[in-house]
Structure 1
Amino acid sequence: MSTATTSFFEPASVTSSGRPVLHQAEVECHLLSSVDLETEPTTTATTTIDSLDFPALKSGLGILTTHRLLWLPSNATTDSSSPISIPLSSVTHIFSPNKSIKSMFHSPRIRFQVSMHSRSFVVTLVIRGKGDIDGFLTKFWDCWRGRAWEIGNDSGGGSSSGSVPASGSVSGGGLYSSDGSVRLVGVSGILRKEQEKWESTDKSLQEAFHDLNALMRKAKEMVILAEKMRQKLLSGSSSQSSSGNDEEMGSKEEMQDWLLSVGIVSPVTKESAGAMYHQQLSRQLADFVRIPLEKAGGMINLIDIYCLFNRARGTELISPEDLLQACSLWEKFDVPVMLRKFDSGVKVIQNKSHSDEEVFARIKNLVSKPEALRSGITASDAAMTLGIAPAMAKEHLLTAESKGLLCRDISPDGFCFFINLFPEINSDDIHMVKDHGIYSLWIKSW
């Protein structure tokens, strides 16, 4: 990051797919595309800030979270700018939007005062793309006032205001109540009773939502606690892998799988991402599949990813069409994963570093063994050798067959694959057996 940028803002970390790395308990709230960051010339008692000193941050992605305002370059590979963050705790004032006639002919702007690195200056967000500007500004105000970064110091809510005192008992049908006020009768009395009923309902709703907010806070604390426990287990398992026994390691892995079911803390939603929903969903999916791919040997069925991803998102489920569209966008991004479709129609997700030649070499080594030369191999045999699911192993075997490496035998027991011996048979003398090669080994195995 350039010195000019660090003198104004804090750096922000991103994943390999370009998604921001969030802090604990931090949640994305809104996104805007094509956002410029500008500043106004400011003179204080100690410093003078000129707009020329401000780094050029043009046409980036603006992400509002509960803790920070992030700006990410639109194309990390060609843009020299680096991701930056503005903590909401450093925002001292948010200016009201300008509603003049002149502003109608310019890009919408959001101005706010920032105090960072012993200097105070005004930052302007220039929104040149399409998006819900009013919704972003409302979320900006809510996150700034909510002060989620101080959640540890959050005290319990006070009692609800606006409670209605109980009406006194009415004496013997007179015109005055027990507290001396005039009784309302007729239409006025009916309206007063309706008002009291609505006020009582409003009070009940406030108490109910207060309990719901308390429950949500507790749930968020449990998610944070589970994530801390998972990270501690991961660090502990790597340091104690040599000394720990198999039973202890198995219990740790079971605990990690249970903690993973807590899910994604800040899933991308249509409400927060807007028009960039599929783009941001694609980047988040690329980050999510990294661990399942490592466990599955570098390739996993698309259906399995659909189930795992929706399980991690909790109530924010996505449709199969959304998943396919998110995977298809990987071609436009510099991510380490890709969507692949086999000739049989099966779709899988695999690492870009995955090599079919390496897989074919291992399969050829397997079918060249004496017992495999006599009886062949099945998808289960290949799955045990490659360390992948039998369904994926079958697709690799069928692909190897299409390349001419294997031959297939179909029997009532299913598919059985053998090494392809036909390239080593001399067409001029089919009875001649070479002293070396696979064909010679096959003859000797009988």
Structure 2
Amino acid sequence: MAGHFPPAAELTTSGRPVLIPNEIECSILSSVDLECDELPSFPLLKSGIIILTTHRIVWISDSTNSAVAVPLAAVNHILSSKKSIKSMFASPRVRFQVSVPSGGISRSAVITIVIRGKGDHEVFVSKFWENWRARAWENDDNNKDSSSSSASGPTSTGSGGLYSSEGTVRMVGVAGILRKEQEMWENTDKSLQEAFQDLNALMSKAKEMVMLAEKMRQKLLAGTNSQSGSTNDDEVASKEEIQDWLLSVGIISPVTKESAGALYHQQLSRQDK
């Protein structure tokens, strides 16, 4: 049904979008409307934050804890904006065409992003084109198909009688009970070993976090002392190094000044893994 488009998006308790596997945030703008005159059931989406990712366009309401998402896979075309004297004084608009399921068939509709805030809309449009052409969601689908093929294989069903499905002799009577108890203790011992391994890994990760905090503190102190003599190359190398540190502790899609702009500090405070 067209009334379900765009679908709702899940948010964290801090109001950030819950990312799907391999999804990365690329650009964020504030004070944005979503409009679609061609779909009568299209909801009223006024004054929200829009987040462009590698897989979706997520719109989050400023007034309510609600969000919707337009999958980039549903986008058929990004329409070029017309340059005119009137457009120079109006809010920037980004128009794109999507396929909307309706009654078992798909129909086309044009959605307009109205940017009323002060963000860099040209960077947003550039990233929009880049992500749509990259089609990262198709790589995810291919990976799922290969995983399903490798996991599937010939299966066999067990049968009653003396032999089990693996062809071994079934243990019955007292010997079977003792054997079953032995297997239970072995499984318990294995589970305890795995639990201790997970605990050790968690403690190791905590040590890495402490080391990371110290490295970043030292980096900031060094950057402050040598700020006057720094070059663009040094800044780029520093950003890449900090990005590597964040990835090493599991933050896959960190909020950056480039993606969030004026919303950097607000979105950084909500950053979770």
TM-score (norm: length of structure 2): 0.61
Q: 2:120 & 2:80 partners in 1: Cα distance?
A: 16
Q: Which has the larger radius of gyration?
A: 1
Q: Does 1:89 align with 2:76?
A: no
Q: 5+ residue gaps in structure 2?
A: 143-186, 207-247
Is the partner of 1:136 in helix, strand or coil?
Answer: helix
Q: 2:19 & 2:115 partners in 1: Cα distance?
A: 23
Q: Which amino acid aligns with 1:88?
A: L
Q: Which residue of 2 aligns with 1:280?
A: 267
CA 122–258 in structure 1, closer or farther in 2 if over 3 Å, else same: farther
CA 86–251 in structure 1, closer or farther in 2 if over 3 Å, else same: same
Is the partner of 1:10 in helix, strand or coil?
Answer: coil
Q: 1:28 & 1:73 partners in 2: Cα distance?
A: 17
Q: Which residue of 2 aligns with 1:318?
A: none
Q: Which residue of 2 aligns with 1:34?
A: 31
Is the partner of 1:93 in helix, strand or coil?
Answer: strand
- Residue 101 of structure 1 deviates from its aligned partner by 0.9
Pairing 1:326-341 to 2, within 5 Å after superposition? none
Q: Does 1:56 align with 2:40?
A: no
- Residue 265 of structure 1 deviates from its aligned partner by 0.5
Q: Which residue of 2 aligns with 1:126?
A: 114
Pairing 1:231-242 to 2, within 5 Å after superposition? none
- Residue 248 of structure 1 deviates from its aligned partner by 3.2
- Residue 74 of structure 1 deviates from its aligned partner by 1.1
CA 121–258 in structure 1, closer or farther in 2 if over 3 Å, else same: farther
Greater RCO, CA 8 A, separation 6+: 2
Q: Which residue of 1 aligns with 2:251?
A: 264
Q: 1:17 & 1:121 partners in 2: Cα distance?
A: 32
2:199 alignment partner, one of 245, 253, 257: 253
Q: 1:40 & 1:145 partners in 2: Cα distance?
A: 26
1:25 alignment partner, one of 16, 22, 25: 22
Q: 1:153 & 1:104 partners in 2: Cα distance?
A: 41
- Please report the RMSD computed on the Cα atoms of aligned residues, expressed in angstroms: 2.6
Q: Which amino acid aligns with 2:118?
A: K
1:73 alignment partner, one of 39, 55, 61: 61
CA 150–259 in structure 1, closer or farther in 2 if over 3 Å, else same: farther
TM-score (norm: length of structure 1): 0.38
Q: Does 1:136 align with 2:124?
A: yes
Q: Does 1:107 align with 2:91?
A: yes
1:258-284 Cα shifts (integer Å, max 9, x gaps): 689442010000000000000000111
- Residue 18 of structure 1 deviates from its aligned partner by 0.4
1:304-341 Cα shifts (integer Å, max 9, x gaps): xxxxxxxxxxxxxxxxxxxxxxxxxxxxxxxxxxxxxx
Identity of aligned residues (%): 55
CA 147–247 in structure 1, closer or farther in 2 if over 3 Å, else same: same
2:8 alignment partner, one of 2, 8, 11: 11
Pairing 1:39-438 to 2, within 5 Å after superposition? 39-41=36-38, 49-50=39-40, 53-76=41-64, 82-117=66-101, 118-152=106-140, 243=188, 246-255=192-201, 261-284=248-271, 287=272
Q: 2:6 & 2:205 partners in 1: Cα distance?
A: 35
Is the partner of 1:124 in helix, strand or coil?
Answer: strand
Is the partner of 1:278 in helix, strand or coil?
Answer: helix
Q: Which amino acid aligns with 1:34?
A: S
1:402-430 Cα shifts (integer Å, max 9, x gaps): xxxxxxxxxxxxxxxxxxxxxxxxxxxxx
- Residue 131 of structure 1 deviates from its aligned partner by 0.4
Q: Which residue of 2 aligns with 1:297?
A: none
- Residue 103 of structure 1 deviates from its aligned partner by 1.0
Q: 5+ residue gaps in structure 1?
A: 42-48, 155-241, 289-446
- Residue 255 of structure 1 deviates from its aligned partner by 3.8
Is the partner of 2:18 in helix, strand or coil?
Answer: coil
CA 124–66 in structure 1, closer or farther in 2 if over 3 Å, else same: same
CA 132–94 in structure 1, closer or farther in 2 if over 3 Å, else same: same
CA 152–14 in structure 1, closer or farther in 2 if over 3 Å, else same: closer
- Residue 153 of structure 1 deviates from its aligned partner by 7.2
CA 152–83 in structure 1, closer or farther in 2 if over 3 Å, else same: closer
Q: 2:68 & 2:111 partners in 1: Cα distance?
A: 13
Q: Which amino acid aligns with 1:10?
A: P
Q: Which amino acid aligns with 1:33?
A: S
Q: 1:105 & 1:92 partners in 2: Cα distance?
A: 29
CA 250–85 in structure 1, closer or farther in 2 if over 3 Å, else same: same
Q: 1:258 & 1:113 partners in 2: Cα distance?
A: 49
1:184-240 Cα shifts (integer Å, max 9, x gaps): xxxxxxxxxxxxxxxxxxxxxxxxxxxxxxxxxxxxxxxxxxxxxxxxxxxxxxxxx
